Amino acid sequence: MASIHPGYDLGPRDAGSNTGDDPTRRAPLVLGGLGFRDVTDRVSRVAVSWPAIWWWVLFVPAVGLAGLFFGLIGYLVTTGVGVWGNNQPNAWGFPIINFVFWVGIGHAGTLISAILFLFRQNWRTSINRFAEAMTIFAVVCAGIFPAIHVGRPWLAYWLFPYPNQMAMWPQFRSPLLWDVFAVSTYASVSLLFWYTGMVPDIATLRDRTKNRIAKIGYGIASLGWTGSSRHWSRFEKAYLLLAALCTPLVLSVHSVVSFDFAVAQLPGWHTTIFPPYFVAGAIFGGFAMVLTLAIPARYLLGFKDIITERHIDNCAKVMLGTGMIVAFAYTTEFFYAWYSGHHYEKAIFLFRPFGPYAWAFWTMFLCNICAPQLMWVKRFRLNPWIVMISAMGVNIGMWFERFVITITSLSNDFLPSSWALFEATWVDGLMFTASFGLFFTNFLLFLKFLPTVAISEVKTVMPAAHASHH
């Protein structure tokens, strides 16, 4: 069979696809015979044209949910945290569960962008912009929950070290304070990394749009980019340095989040496995969310030749691999409880699968352990519906994982006299649901007004970019 690009043969078994595993053939990462101009046209057309109907159909409900979210925050602030189901001993409840869930989702974006960039994994180029945007918007959602959980969010600045007349100083030995600095640093660097990578593509939108206001906006955002050799040289150095800076942050942020639990004395929390377990779980959930966003977006935006089956296949494999690490961590926790001989530890690990929260534990188990196993079969990895169902199952399972960790240990600690079950209120449920409105409002605005795919980076992995193929 003739190849689409010289030197990039699809092979006889995968005609029309690029998912072949033949190591002697380099599979193309852009299909459809697209050239440089075609890639630029397809990506920039979304941003410079009037929004499609599907965009309005999704955007209006998302804005409504985001408005509901802020309305509920106003209700919470004016009424008090009693509207939540939090009690003693379940003082953390839904707000901290939601915080860890959103931070975990925000984890994979920088992983895909920074670490895969440093390891020269070319397949990242079509999906890294999605993942980076997902990181920023997920961290925004995550940051809100601890701020409102303090009860009086207008005093949240007390967490920062500053001279004051009350001689109060933050407790730097508390991982809760480490969270403030870890998440804020991660968000700042991720935002800078995302924006820096977009500068050349924003300049492309500036040059293509006919709208005067949009031209001014893109012109300011592109920082005077001209595409000169000096600009490219500085851009590549800055991007590489930011990628190197982001890489340790990927590992540190969720490790610090895990310390919130691991340094406590509560059964089920006090374990050294939490940092790698949380990091693997965050990558696992993050890739699941990338698939949840990328699969419908490639159809709606007409990017099937740019975000190809190979990209989906690779993401599914990473989700499967990290899912196996998470399964190993689950098993290890039960082994630790048995091997330690610690009565309270053994009791909490019997409480989880057989106690009143067994429904949450088994939901977590089915979604996080069983659903990803479908990805062992290549035919399933190439079916977008099956991949989508598996990824959404993981998204659900990862939220329940945080629920199981947080609630079961808090509600069933050392003294039976202090045991109490947690019951979520309608405010808890609506606030978590409405937080998706904030996330998707930001994400849909990104899809419409910014370059959704890294145009300049995708061109570098196309055969035409390599002189040896001419």
The conformation of residue 418, written as its DSSP 8-state character, comes to G
pLDDT surpassing 90 at residue 427? yes
For residue 271, what pLDDT band results from cuts at 50, 70 and 90?
confident
* Stretch 316-336: mean pLDDT: 94
Burial string for 72-109 (b: 16+ CB within 10 Å, else e) reads: bbeebeeeebebbbbeebbebbbbbbbbbbbbbbbbbb
Residue 16 lies in a domain: no
- For residues 273 and 329, is the Cβ–Cβ distance under 8 A? yes
Q: Residue 468's pLDDT is what?
A: 54
Angle between helices 343-354 and 358-365 (to 10 degrees): 80
* Stretch 387-404: mean pLDDT: 94
Q: Residue 98's pLDDT is what?
A: 94
Query: Which of 56-65, 282-291, 415-424 has the highest mean predicted lDDT (pLDDT)?
Result: 56-65
Q: In the structure encoding, which two tokens stand for residue 446, read together? A: 């990104």
SS3 25: coil
Q: Give the domain range for residue 366.
A: 51-154+174-462
Q: What Å distances lie between residue 396 and 12, 165, 310, 392, CA to CA?
A: 39, 47, 25, 6
pLDDT surpassing 50 at residue 390? yes
Q: What Å distances lie between residue 141 and 187, 392, 414, 435, CA to CA?
A: 11, 19, 33, 7
How far apart, in whole angstroms, are the C-alpha atoms of residue 396 and residue 148? 24
Q: For residue 391, which phi and psi values (nearest 5 degrees)?
A: -65, -40
Residue 470 lies in a domain: no
The conformation of residue 412, written as its DSSP 8-state character, comes to T
Q: In the structure encoding, which two tokens stand for residue 4, read together? A: 């689409």
Residue 91 lies in a domain: yes
Average pLDDT over the chain reads: 88
Q: Residue 348's pLDDT is what?
A: 93
Residue 165 lies in a domain: no
pLDDT surpassing 80 at residue 454? yes
Residue 314 lies in a domain: yes
Contacts of 90 (CB under 8 A, 6+ apart): 407, 410, 411, 420, 421, 422
Lowest mean pLDDT among 118-132, 198-212, 436-450: 118-132
Token pair 């189901």: residue:
85
Q: Residue 2's pLDDT is what?
A: 39
- For residues 148 and 76, is the Cβ–Cβ distance under 8 A? yes
| % helix, strand, coil for the chain, step of 5 | 75, 0, 25
Residue 71 lies in a domain: yes
How far apart, in whole angstroms, are the C-alpha atoms of residue 239 and residue 234? 8
Q: Residue 13's pLDDT is what?
A: 45
> What are the pLDDT digits (tens) for 54-83?
999 999 999 999 999 999 999 999 999 999
Q: In the structure encoding, which two tokens stand for residue 17, read together? A: 């696809």
pLDDT surpassing 70 at residue 10? no
User: How many domains are contained in the chain?
Assistant: 1
Q: Residue 436's pLDDT is what?
A: 96
Q: Residue 5's pLDDT is what?
A: 45
- For residues 18 and 29, is the Cβ–Cβ distance under 8 A? yes
Higher per-residue confidence, 460 vs 230: 230
Q: What is the secondary structure of 343-393 as a DSSP string? A: HHHHHHHHHHHHSTTHHHHHHHHIIIIIGGGGGGSHHHHT-HHHHHHHHHH
The conformation of residue 290, written as its DSSP 8-state character, comes to H
Higher per-residue confidence, 21 vs 242: 242
Residue 364 lies in a domain: yes
Residue 2 lies in a domain: no
How far apart, in whole angstroms, are the C-alpha atoms of residue 413 and residue 401? 18
Higher per-residue confidence, 12 vs 286: 286
Q: Residue 383's pLDDT is what?
A: 92
For residue 447, what pLDDT band results from cuts at 50, 70 and 90?
very high
